[in-house]
Amino acid sequence: MKKWQFWLGVLISVFFVWFSLKGLRLGEFWDVIKTANYWWLFPGITVYFIGVWVRAWRWHYLLKPVKKISTNAMFPITTIGYMGNNIYPARAGEVLRAIILKKKEGVPVTASLATIIVERIFDGVVMLSFVFINLGELAKLQSASGFVGNIQQVAIYGTLIFLLALMIFLLGAMFPAQTIWLVEGFSQKFLPEQFQEKILSVAHKFLDGLASLRSPASILMVFVTSFIIWILETLKYWFVMHAFNFSVSFFALMLMNGIVNLATTIPSAPGYIGTFDAPGIAVLTAYGVDKAVAAAYTLTLHAALWIPITLLGAYFLSREGIHWSDQLREEAKDGR
């Protein structure tokens, strides 16, 4: 609570919330909320959890070269991680699930974090592909929303960044000996001697986590799995849309999904407050959806994405009998 990063995230969230609610007629908004057909949330939540299971399978696949762990064993840990992202700042849930995996299965934290970073890179590539698939739609919306109007340029720069990161990880995975040689040379030249052995140990474990990327078939498998995950999440957007009195195409919801998830990479308060909602409302209003309806839908969707996974993750975490403590933070820093 005392860290400036936390309060910066809160300020950013406050700004985005203010922006998303600016000009909103609250009476109309509450009328939409009260008349929505919330039964549509149940199939949406169902397909979302199918997507979470696919995420657990993808993580199981990425970790196979390090240790073979069943998808059923990975699912509770995956939900704990997404719960942690929802309630702790700075996506601490990613570190939390790596630590729990170490406690349960003995997988080094550094190796787990390597696979988690790979997940995030592939997720980013898929999100950007959702934007590029809909560039024609996006061109029609530029005059309607400042948020949406600049997204093409953001998508281009974002694609370059994600592809560069992916290339670095692929080269590291395919040429581990050369990567270790580079790390060793760097550490000997720039770091004190007492840190050199630690850096090399971390590098070896990190490269172990990238072992699944050493074949084109594995890379394709991870990409296809990532695409399925985000199509399923878009399907949740589609189901929740039916609870409200508006209709846009599935491709429009893909575009919304891509934009809001790219926006959630901006630092914010826990749970992506504001950074999810403001761009989501902006996309829908750019499609001609009334702002009260767009706001009611986006906030309901956000709650339907946040509450179920957070409750399930909290349940699984309580079964483990641990919590985010100073001891866990030290284990995360240790990385073993």
pLDDT tens digit sequence for 128-146: 888 878 777 776 665 545 5
Q: Which of 14, 91, 90 is nearest to 275 (CA)?
A: 14
Average pLDDT in the 315-329 region?
71
CA dihedral (325, 331, 333, 336) in degrees, to 10, reads -160
Q: Highest mean pLDDT range out of 11-25, 204-218, 300-314?
A: 300-314
Q: Which of 218, 265, 250 is nearest to 123 (CA)?
A: 265
Average pLDDT in the 317-331 region?
66
pLDDT at 192: 78
Q: Which residue has the higher pLDDT, 193 or 304?
A: 304
CB neighbour list of residue 335: distance below 8 Å, 6 or more residues apart: 108, 109, 110, 113, 202, 205
Looking at the domain assignment, is residue 226 inside a domain? yes
Average pLDDT in the 298-322 region?
92
Looking at the domain assignment, is residue 132 inside a domain? yes
Q: How confident is the model at residue 165 (pLDDT cuts 50, 70, 90)?
A: confident
State both tokens at 251.
Answer: 């491709």
Beta carbons of 128 and 121 less than 8 angstroms apart: no
Looking at the domain assignment, is residue 1 inside a domain? no
State both tokens at 116.
Answer: 């988690």
Looking at the domain assignment, is residue 7 inside a domain? no
CB neighbour list of residue 155: distance below 8 Å, 6 or more residues apart: 128, 131, 132, 262
The parent domain of residue 272 ranges over: 12-334
Looking at the domain assignment, is residue 3 inside a domain? no
pLDDT at 154: 63
pLDDT at 248 over 70: yes
Beta carbons of 61 and 225 less than 8 angstroms apart: yes
Looking at the domain assignment, is residue 4 inside a domain? no
**151-174 and 109-133 are packed helices; what angle lies between their axes, rounded to 10 degrees?**
140
Q: How confident is the model at residue 331 (pLDDT cuts 50, 70, 90)?
A: low
CA–CA distances in Å: residue 305 to residues 7, 29, 46, 156, 274:
24, 20, 11, 28, 14
Average pLDDT in the 182-204 region?
78
pLDDT at 2 over 80: no
pLDDT at 291 over 60: yes
Q: How confident is the model at residue 235 (pLDDT cuts 50, 70, 90)?
A: very high
The number of folded domains in the chain is: 1
CB neighbour list of residue 8: distance below 8 Å, 6 or more residues apart: 267
pTM of the model: 0.87
Looking at the domain assignment, is residue 287 inside a domain? yes
